[in-house]
């Protein structure tokens, strides 16, 4: 994964949402959606791809998949990357003024994110059709939400290593991650003045046991990534990744993840099967075959209840990270082929 570059030159735009009424009953004043676009919107606005951001990422971390000659070719498509709430660029605990800053930042859901993103596409660009929505992990969950909330707008989807509804086991895993972060006394219930780095490092160590598969460690594949040992991998990859983050932002995104459910809204009233059946988009659903967050069995249930979906798992020792890290060339090629198929390229 690329480093989070929010301290670099600003190369994105802000869509002003005004006072945003949230799904869980709060209002986020002067809400902002950060986004970046690549390519040009064609005359009939039929070349739109929405590429979504995942946990602890911004658009910077997605840009590596956008390249001429690749499936997501900016010379052919208008690619929009909206930043998820809580990631430090869109409205987040770190950039929202009192009284909604830090620990008082309200609970935002995937529903809130997709409603805001829909406003960006329709109000800013006049877009009525999306050729493809795609993304990894939390971005895959947003992809499912797009297809369920706007079934007549989204033509194809490719969610990788994510789910339409957060499973109970996944919820429990995230509780462990969150507990490791917030147990640091320096966290101060979210009212810290300096980052609780002990908690952030602990969070990274908990995540380290989930992101890659048992086979990855058994075969010592971390050596192929340039790390000298398991400990070197934990410190240099996992601790470093979370050391670059803000703790309250992380808690915000975890809460969004934990409450994920495409049927938790006024359209479906909690009927998960009905929400899956309402998805009209052609879908290639791509779990990792040994993903410890999102097992392929969960994806198989989703595909079974979607009318135009195919299950196409990654065969990769990289587990959850097969779907979005770019660390294994075979995984990148496998994903690129699926995108090309959906795009008719």
Catalytic residues: 137, 291, 320
Residue 256: closest CA among 83, 79, 133: 83
Contacts of 264 (CB under 8 A, 6+ apart): 109, 111, 270
- What is the C-alpha separation between 92 and 291, in angstroms, rounded? 29
- What is the C-alpha separation between 280 and 125, in angstroms, rounded? 23
Contacts of 239 (CB under 8 A, 6+ apart): 200, 201, 204, 205
In this structure, the chain runs to a length of 345
- What is the C-alpha separation between 7 and 10, in angstroms, rounded? 8
* Residue 121 contacts residue 130 (beta carbons within 8 Å): yes
* Residue 321 contacts residue 215 (beta carbons within 8 Å): no
What tokens were used for 12? 């994105």
């Amino acid at each position: 994964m690329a480093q989070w570059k929010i301290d670099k030159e600003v190369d994105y735009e802000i869509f002003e949402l005004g006072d945003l009424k949230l799904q869980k009953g709060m209002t986020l004043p002067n809400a902002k959606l950060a986004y970046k676009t690549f390519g040009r919107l064609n005359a009939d606005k039929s070349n739109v791809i929405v590429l979504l951001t995942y946990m602890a990422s911004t658009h910077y971390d997605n840009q590596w998949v956008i390249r001429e000659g690749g499936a997501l070719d900016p010379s052919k498509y208008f690619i929009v990357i909206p930043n998820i709430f809580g990631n430090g660029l869109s409205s987040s605990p770190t950039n929202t003024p009192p009284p909604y800053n830090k620990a008082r930042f309200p609970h935002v859901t995937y529903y809130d994110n997709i409603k805001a993103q829909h406003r960006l596409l329709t109000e800013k660009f006049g877009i009525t059709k999306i050729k493809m929505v795609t993304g990894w992990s939390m971005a895959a969950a947003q992809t499912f939400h797009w297809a369920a909330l706007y079934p007549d707008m989204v033509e194809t989807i490719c969610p990788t290593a994510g789910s339409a509804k957060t499973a109970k086991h996944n919820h429990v895993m995230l509780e462990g991650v969150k507990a490791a972060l917030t147990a640091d006394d320096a966290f101060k219930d979210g009212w810290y003045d300096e980052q609780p780095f002990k908690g952030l490092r602990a969070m990274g160590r908990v995540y380290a046991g989930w992101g890659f598969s048992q086979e990855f460690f058994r075969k010592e594949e971390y050596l192929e990534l340039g790390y000298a040992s398991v400990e070197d991998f934990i410190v240099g990859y996992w601790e470093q990744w979370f050391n670059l983050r803000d703790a309250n932002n992380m808690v915000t995104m975890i809460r969004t993840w934990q409450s994920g459910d495409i049927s938790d809204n006024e359209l479906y009233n909690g009927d998960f099967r009905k929400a899956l059946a309402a998805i009209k988009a052609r879908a290639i659903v791509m779990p990792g075959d040994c993903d410890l967050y999102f097992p392929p069995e969960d994806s198989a249930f989703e595909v079974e209840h979607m009318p135009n979906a195919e299950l196409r798992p990654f065969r990769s020792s990289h587990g959850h990270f097969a779907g979005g890290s770019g660390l294994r060339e075979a995984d990148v090629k496998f994903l690129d082929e699926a995108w090309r198929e959906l795009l008719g390229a």
